[in-house]
Amino acid sequence: MDDTEFLAGQFEAHRAHLRAVSYRMLGSLSEADDAVQEAWVRLSRSDAEEIENLGGWLTTVVARVCLNVLRRRRTRSEQPLDELRLPDPIVEPIDGGNPEHEALLADSVGLALLVVLEQLSPAERLAFVLHDMFAVPFDEIAPMVERTPEATRQLASRARRRVQGAAPEAPADRARQREVAEAFKAAAREGDFERLVSVLHPDVVLRADTGPGNALHVRVGAETVASQAILFRSTAPESDTTETVLVNGAPGLMQIRGGRPFSVVAFTISGDQIVQMDIIADPDRLARLSIDIHRLNR
């Protein structure tokens, strides 16, 4: 084994961790993969023998790359509501079983949390993700955001308050979450308005992302969302099927049309009601989902 192969092997041992960091920072699977690849390029061009802590060095490189991506997003636009995009979902069969996905979602990073992270400043997001999710000390984060450790602590604290105030708490019992998801699916299929309203929180928020160039579709309120669900189901071809899947580790739904994913619904459930629905209906992103349709309803 030559030096390059040895270094590549060491890098691969850290890949899952680096991808997890990048996904939480960017909410985009393709951009996360690009950030990890950039870390490899920089490592391959560095004097690896001078690196004392390879894992820490790689985490710093990936974090800096992600920070630059987030800053470029901000300079392009302040992203008004009609330009916002929902984060990429991670979808797998309801029984799970994908070790790569399990590593990526080790801390139950739901789509709702990623939506909140999108609203943080780049520096706040980096401080929160690295410290609160990966236990990186503030004195190591501070140089990345060009602040003192105490100022960096304040960034993470401010981000933490926003996350706690905006991200609904989902129940730990996945079985109960699945019951609520199944109840919603059945009520929508049967056009049962009252039953739909009963599983929706009175102030439920629905957001639907249909792709670039289209405004983020937002609806609020149980009756409004129930009406939308019934309308959508009534206009869908009879050949469509809806399967229960895991979306970022929690029960959600996937609509299949013509043997391909047509939409993915992520639920945020508090108690026995749905408080948030995030729908991805972007054909390009759905086409990139790494999920075997034939496994869904065996």
| pLDDT at residue number 146 | 95
- Rounded CA-CA distance 203/217 in Å is 16
| pLDDT at residue number 113 | 86
Q: Residue type for 280, please? A: I
- Rounded CA-CA distance 62/41 in Å is 11
| pLDDT at residue number 83 | 54
| pLDDT at residue number 81 | 45
- Phi, psi angles (nearest 5°) of residue 296: -70, -35
- Rounded CA-CA distance 1/169 in Å is 49
CATH 1.20.140 fits 3-166, yes or no: yes
| pLDDT at residue number 82 | 46
| pLDDT at residue number 34 | 96
Q: CATH 3.10.450.50 spans which residues of the chain?
A: 174-295
**Chain centre distance of CA 278:** 11
Supply 55's token pair. Answer: 């894992």
Supply 222's token pair. Answer: 């149980």
- Rounded CA-CA distance 67/44 in Å is 21
pTM, to two decimals: 0.84
- Rounded CA-CA distance 68/148 in Å is 19
- The residue to which tokens 């993700």 are assigned: 129
- Rounded CA-CA distance 106/103 in Å is 5
Q: CATH 1.20.140 spans which residues of the chain?
A: 3-166
3-class secondary structure for the chain?
Answer: CCHHHHHHHHHHHHHHHHHHHHHHHHCCHHHHHHHHHHHHHHHHCCCHHHCCCHHHHHHHHHHHHHHHHHHHHHHHCCCCHHHCCCCCCCEEECCCCCHHHHHHCCCCCCHHHHHHHCCCCHHHHHHHHHHHHHCCCHHHHHHHHCCCHHHHHHHHHHHHHHHHHHCCCCCCCHHHHHHHHHHHHHHHHHCCHHHHHHHEEEEEEEEEECCCCCCCEEEECHHHHHHHHHHHHHHCCCCCEEEEEEECCEEEEEEEECCEEEEEEEEEEECCEEEEEEEECCHHHHHCCCCCHHHCCC
CB 282 within 8 A of CB 266: no
Mean pLDDT by 10 residues, the chain (298 residues): 80 94 94 96 88 93 96 70 74 75 61 88 96 95 96 96 74 82 95 96 94 87 96 90 91 92 93 92 87 59
Q: Which CATH architecture does the domain made up of 174-295 adopt?
A: Roll (3.10)
